[in-house]
């Protein structure tokens, strides 16, 4: 008799550029985080680095090629592999949950995992033995993404780990090495506001973060790296989940804050 899967949490994690994988503290934190999670039957990734409307499903075949969506890095970052199993059943389930009047799902079988997906997964599930599916963000509108998360929420009862991958503060023009704890004020203020607001479950304030959060326009000149938070949050709302900050600190001045909703 098949065992009923455990209800999975949802995650929002800050993934960083490929060199963040050289940060021993961050890789330890991700490994410890995944070790504390129930074993997922599959993983659904929503990355800041794939925007496509309508919602588009990526490659579903085993060992699909990765998408090296970055430029100007040393060659070793383009040699990284992550030969995970495909998730065709999950793709069909996502399509069933998301499709409806005026809502369609496209497929892009050539689209492998981008670095917002495989960089953290390589640290969390290094054996690459969990089926993974990546889907696009069809919009950057927080309310639309919150609704998308709500539609995907039933997957949690089916053992699917829903992961939104972005960065809690993300301004590449302002990034710089942090020395002696001298974190830029714009980054620390936005990070502190996000931490408090998520733990307070103030969804209305989060949806209006561009006006409510301090230094929002500097922390996110474009909202693509904050947007995945709303998918993870939306998938947890109906269950009144508990929010936990699992990773904090900074990388080149940008906040690595990550959350778990369970």
Cβ atoms of residues 171 and 219 within 8 Å? yes
Which pLDDT belongs to residue 173?
86
Count the Cβ atoms, other than its own, within 10 Å of residue 85: 16
Which pLDDT belongs to residue 1?
46
Which pLDDT belongs to residue 35?
97
List the one residue out of 241, 231, 15 whose CA is nearest residue 121: 15
The residues of the chain scoring below 50 in pLDDT are: 1
Which pLDDT belongs to residue 17?
79
Which pLDDT belongs to residue 4?
73
CATH code linked to domain 10-261: 3.40.830.10
Which pLDDT belongs to residue 172?
85
Which pLDDT belongs to residue 134?
98
Helices 142-152/88-98 angle, 10° precision: 120
Separation in Å, CA 100 to CA 54, 89, 151: 12, 19, 11
């Amino acid at each position: 008799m098949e065992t009923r899967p455990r209800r999975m949490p949802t995650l929002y994690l800050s993934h960083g550029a490929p060199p963040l994988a050289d940060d021993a503290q961050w890789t330890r934190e991700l490994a410890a985080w995944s070790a504390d999670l129930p074993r997922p039957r599959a993983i659904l990734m929503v990355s800041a680095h794939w925007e496509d409307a309508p919602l588009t499903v990526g490659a579903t075949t085993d060992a699909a090629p990765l998408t090296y969506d970055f430029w100007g890095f040393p060659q070793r970052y383009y040699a990284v592999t992550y030969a995970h199993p495909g998730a065709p059943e999950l793709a069909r389930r996502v399509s069933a949950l998301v499709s409806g009047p005026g809502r369609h799902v496209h497929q892009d079988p050539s689209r492998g995992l981008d670095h917002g997906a495989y960089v953290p997964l390589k640290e969390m599930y290094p054996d690459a033995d969990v089926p993974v599916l990546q889907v696009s963000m069809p919009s950057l509108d927080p309310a639309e993404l919150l609704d998308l998360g709500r539609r995907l929420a039933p997957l949690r009862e089916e053992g699917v780990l829903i992961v939104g991958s972005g960065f809690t503060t993300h301004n590449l023009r302002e990034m710089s090495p942090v020395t002696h704890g001298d974190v830029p004020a714009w980054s620390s203020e936005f990070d502190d506001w996000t931490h408090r607001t998520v733990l307070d479950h103030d969804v209305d304030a989060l949806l209006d973060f561009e006006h409510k959060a301090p230094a929002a326009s500097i922390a996110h000149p474009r909202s693509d790296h904050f947007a995945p938070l709303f998918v993870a949050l939306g998938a947890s709302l109906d269950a009144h989940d508990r929010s936990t900050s699992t990773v904090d600190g900074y990388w080149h001045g940008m906040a690595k804050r990550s959350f778990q909703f369970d």
